[in-house]
């Protein structure tokens, strides 16, 4: 059981800043802070202040020594984050000062909070539902505009309202069916079967749509996965470094330099991308290299976008190999790399030029021209780049943003695996209810499936939950959240 009796305290800010905030919440919060805080002017007791108030003064140790000059914000229950009596002490960001104030607070009767305990209390006091509580963590960690948009919608309750709407409709239907049971002797039907059927179809559709949106939602939350694949030495690691503007992966002219995958995120046009540099695809005799290549194929299947890097000096055969490896051409952006070598007499160039029909793209630059061969499917985007010299990378960034934009929708996006699983279970139970209805099963059996659907739906917003589930969710939070 959650302990709501004690008063908890924790730093709410990460170490290293000029200022730090220490949160205190619980029945004794204002008394605890009052014991260590001396206001600059003789004002009323902190506990007696009304509404939200701000107090300037000093934190003073029992030996009379001033620890720091601080501001104390007072929030009276229920008008606080946790819904309890709360205070926030803004002090200087020194690790010593923060530690000392926490020591003084614990001596004054508070205890250190466990991870997520403030938000768990907010949930317990009905300040937010479980989906909103989970969104708190997402809002704090959001690194891109798209991530932020989804998380803030969930925090503000738009998503919860949508789920509650479905749940209320299902409850109504269940009650109608259950009412028929009370009149079973009289053989009456309160719920019009046809209408009931179409409402159930709608609900199945709605829940499945939400569950399906997890693929995109998850990509937005954790970064749209972009696998960088191609032959050894084609310039994959050079491209990763160029996109990140950082020397993240080792680059060398020895084929097979990258063996394990290297993953790193970066924001392009408000969308977080997760770039995955992979081991070059070739027939490897070495066991470790073979395992690396196996991993490459897994990353291709998991990616939303695949950047197929081709060395311009060996384009034709490498393109063929790539088209063979990437089974979904719509995901593929073909990059003819090392275009800076154009003009250099490279063996095989004549062959490449013959097979690739070159056309000017909007940039008009010689190196950023689109190229297309009759063997490349139309849905494959093609660009010429030089990863080493940064040529054509702006065009590539635009392509990435456009491709990610194609997959993002305006409606609600589910970003949480727990929610997606619950929505699938809801849809399955609803489908069972729908089937029962079609085959004229007794209303109590249909109602049973509906009750199960309602139960699964209720686990998302926390109407139905267990201490174990709550413990698992909040333990993933930081201390002070």
26 touches ligand GTP (CB under 6 A): no
Contact 322, 308 (CB under 8 A): yes
CA 282-286-290 angle, 5° bins: 50
Residues in 241-280 that interact with Mg ion by CB under 5 A: 257-258
The smaller minimum CB distance to ligand GTP, of residues 179 and 341, is found at: 341
234 touches ligand GTP (CB under 6 A): yes
394 touches ligand GTP (CB under 6 A): no
Contact 46, 121 (CB under 8 A): no
Segment interacting with ligand GTP (CB under 6 A) among 230-238, 346-354, 398-406, 439-447: 230-238
Residue 407, number of CB atoms within 10 A of its CB: 14
416 touches Mg ion (CB under 5 A): no
Q: Please write down the HEC assignment for all residues of 271-321.
A: EEEEEEECCCCCCCCCHHHHHHHHHHHHHHHHCCEEEEEEEHHHHHHHHHH
Q: Which partner from the list Mg ion, ligand GTP, none does 372 bind, CB cut-off 5 to 8 Å by kind?
A: none
Instruction: Candidates 25, 218, 237, 296: give the one binding ligand GTP (CB under 6 A).
Output: 237
DSSP 402: H
Of all residues in the shown chain, the one whose CB is closest to ligand GTP is 280
Closest CA to 473 of 30, 114, 37: 114
Q: Edge-to-edge strand order for the sheet containing 53-60?
A: 37-39, 53-60, 66-75, 86-92, 19-25, 8-11, 111-112
384 touches ligand GTP (CB under 6 A): no
Instruction: Supply the minimum distance, in Å, between the C-beta of residue 146 and Mg ion.
Output: 29
Segment interacting with ligand GTP (CB under 6 A) among 154-162, 291-299, 338-346, 453-461: 338-346
Q: Decide: helix, strand or coil at residue 162.
A: helix
Residue 299, number of CB atoms within 10 A of its CB: 21
238 touches Mg ion (CB under 5 A): no
Contact 10, 82 (CB under 8 A): no
Segment interacting with ligand GTP (CB under 6 A) among 60-68, 137-145, 196-204, 385-393: 385-393
Residue 405, number of CB atoms within 10 A of its CB: 12
- Rounded CA-CA distance 354/225 in Å is 34
The smaller minimum CB distance to Mg ion, of residues 147 and 258, is found at: 258
Contact 387, 396 (CB under 8 A): no
The smaller minimum CB distance to ligand GTP, of residues 108 and 249, is found at: 249
Contacts of 286 (CB under 8 A, 6+ apart): 256
Q: Which partner from the list Mg ion, ligand GTP, none does 119 bind, CB cut-off 5 to 8 Å by kind?
A: none
Segment interacting with Mg ion (CB under 5 A) among 195-203, 231-239, 379-387, 427-435: 231-239
Segment interacting with Mg ion (CB under 5 A) among 61-69, 233-241, 264-272, 429-437: 233-241
Q: Inter-axis angle of helices 214-222 and 393-407, to 10 degrees?
A: 140
Instruction: Candidates 40, 107, 141, 252: give the one binding ligand GTP (CB under 6 A).
Output: 252
225 touches ligand GTP (CB under 6 A): no
Contact 84, 125 (CB under 8 A): yes
Instruction: Supply the minimum distance, in Å, between the C-beta of residue 283 and Mg ion.
Output: 17
Annotate 189-247 with DSSP letters as a single string.
Answer: --S-HHHHHHHHHHHHHHHHHHHHTHHHHHHHHH-EEEEEEESTTSSHHHHHHHHHTS-
The smaller minimum CB distance to ligand GTP, of residues 129 and 314, is found at: 314
Residues in 409-428 that interact with ligand GTP by CB under 6 A: none
The smaller minimum CB distance to ligand GTP, of residues 218 and 238, is found at: 238
Instruction: Supply the minimum distance, in Å, between the C-beta of residue 387 and Mg ion.
Output: 11
- Rounded CA-CA distance 150/152 in Å is 6
232 touches ligand GTP (CB under 6 A): yes
What distance, in Å, lies between the first and last C-alpha atoms of the chain? 19
Length of the chain: 481
Q: Which partner from the list Mg ion, ligand GTP, none does 82 bind, CB cut-off 5 to 8 Å by kind?
A: none
235 touches ligand GTP (CB under 6 A): yes
Instruction: Supply the minimum distance, in Å, between the C-beta of residue 338 and ligand GTP.
Output: 4
Instruction: Candidates 256, 270, 329, 348: give the one binding ligand GTP (CB under 6 A).
Output: 256
To the nearest 10°, the Cα dihedral for 178, 180, 185, 187? Answer: -150
Instruction: Candidates 237, 373, 426, 461: give the one binding Mg ion (CB under 5 A).
Output: 237
By CB under 6 A, how many residues form the interface with ligand GTP? Answer: 24
Q: Which partner from the list ligand GTP, Mg ion, none does 340 bind, CB cut-off 5 to 8 Å by kind?
A: ligand GTP
Segment interacting with ligand GTP (CB under 6 A) among 67-75, 236-244, 392-400, 450-458: 236-244
Segment interacting with ligand GTP (CB under 6 A) among 133-141, 184-192, 247-255, 460-468: 247-255
User: Footprint of ligand GTP on this chain (CB under 6 A)?
Assistant: 230, 232-238, 251-253, 255-258, 280, 337-338, 340-341, 386-389
User: Footprint of Mg ion on this chain (CB under 5 A)?
Assistant: 236-237, 257-258
């Amino acid at each position: 059981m959650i302990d709501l009796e004690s008063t908890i305290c924790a730093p709410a800010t990460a170490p290293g800043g000029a200022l730090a905030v220490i949160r205190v919440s619980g029945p004794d919060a204002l008394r605890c802070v009052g014991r260590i805080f001396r206001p600059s002017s003789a004002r009323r007791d902190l506990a007696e202040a009304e509404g939200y108030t701000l107090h300037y003064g000093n934190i003073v140790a029992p030996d009379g020594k001033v620890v720091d000059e601080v501001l104390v914000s007072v929030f009276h229950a229920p008008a606080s984050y946790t819904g309890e009596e709360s205070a926030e002490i803004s002090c200087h960001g020194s690790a010593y000062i923060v530690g000392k104030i926490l020591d003084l607070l614990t001596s004054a009767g508070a205890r250190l909070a466990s991870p997520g305990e403030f938000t768990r209390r907010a949930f317990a006091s009905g300040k937010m539902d479980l989906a909103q509580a989970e969104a708190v963590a997402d809002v704090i960690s959001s690194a891109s505009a798209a991530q932020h948009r989804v998380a803030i919608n969930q925090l503000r309750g738009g998503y919860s309202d949508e789920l509650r709407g479905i749940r209320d409709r299902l409850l109504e239907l269940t009650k109608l069916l259950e009412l028929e049971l009370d009149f079973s002797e009289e053989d009456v039907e309160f719920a019009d079967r046809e209408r009931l059927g179409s409402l159930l179809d709608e609900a199945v559709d709605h829940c499945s749509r939400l569950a399906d949106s997890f693929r995109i939602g998850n990509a937005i939350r954790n970064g749209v996965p972009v696998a960088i694949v191609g032959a050894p030495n084609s310039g994959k690691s050079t491209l990763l470094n160029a996109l990140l503007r950082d020397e993240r992966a080792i680059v060398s002219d020895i084929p097979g330099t990258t063996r394990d995958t290297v993953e790193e995120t970066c924001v392009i046009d408000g969308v977080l991308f997760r770039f995955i540099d992979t081991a070059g695809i070739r027939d490897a005799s070495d066991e470790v290299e073979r395992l690396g290549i196996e991993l490459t194929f897994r990353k291709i299947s998991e990616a939303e976008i695949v950047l197929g890097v081709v060395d311009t000096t060996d384009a034709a055969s490498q393109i063929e190999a790539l088209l063979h490896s990437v089974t979904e051409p719509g995901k593929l952006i073909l990059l003819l790399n090392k275009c800076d070598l154009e003009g250099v007499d490279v063996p095989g160039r004549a062959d490449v030029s013959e097979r690739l029909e070159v056309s000017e793209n909007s940039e008009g630059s010689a190196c950023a021209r689109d190229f297309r061969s009759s063997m490349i499917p139309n849905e494959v985007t093609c660009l010429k780049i030089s990863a080493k010299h940064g040529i054509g990378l702006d065009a590539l960034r635009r392509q990435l943003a456009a491709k990610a934009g194609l997959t993002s929708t305006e409606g609600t996006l589910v970003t949480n695996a727990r929610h997606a699983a619950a929505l699938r279970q809801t849809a399955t139970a609803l489908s069972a209810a729908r089937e029962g209805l079609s085959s004229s099963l007794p209303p109590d059996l249909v109602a049973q499936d509906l009750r199960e659907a309602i139960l699964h739906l209720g686990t998302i917003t926390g109407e139905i939950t267990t201490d174990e589930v709550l413990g698992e969710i909040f333990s993933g939070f930081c201390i002070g959240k």
